[in-house]
Amino acid sequence: MRTVPRSANYINLTSPASAADAQVRLLSKKVDLLTQKVKLLSQGRTELPNTKAIDDQLAQLEAQPMAPD
């Protein structure tokens, strides 16, 4: 039997564990972005350019379909 090496870019979404991993990575990205935004806001940096890029990235992540539970 031939084995195929698993690369970092390969995700088998038919496997429940892989789907859960993908969901965790997506949520982790959202948490990182929200943490950056909180740091900016806590420093008083509420100007639109500072938070707009983060909001845009969050919107892109929200648009991605999340794996069903």
Evaluate whether 51 touches 58 at the Cβ level (below 8 Å): no
Give the residue with greater pLDDT, 9 vs 34. 34
How many CB atoms sit inside 10 A of residue 22's CB? 16
What is the value of pTM for the model shown?
0.60
Q: What is the tens place of the pLDDT at every residue in 32-66?
A: 999 998 998 888 887 777 788 889 999 998 887 66
Give the residue with greater pLDDT, 17 vs 40. 40
Among 1, 3, 22, which Cα is nearest to 11's?
22
Among 29, 19, 38, which Cα is nearest to 58's?
29
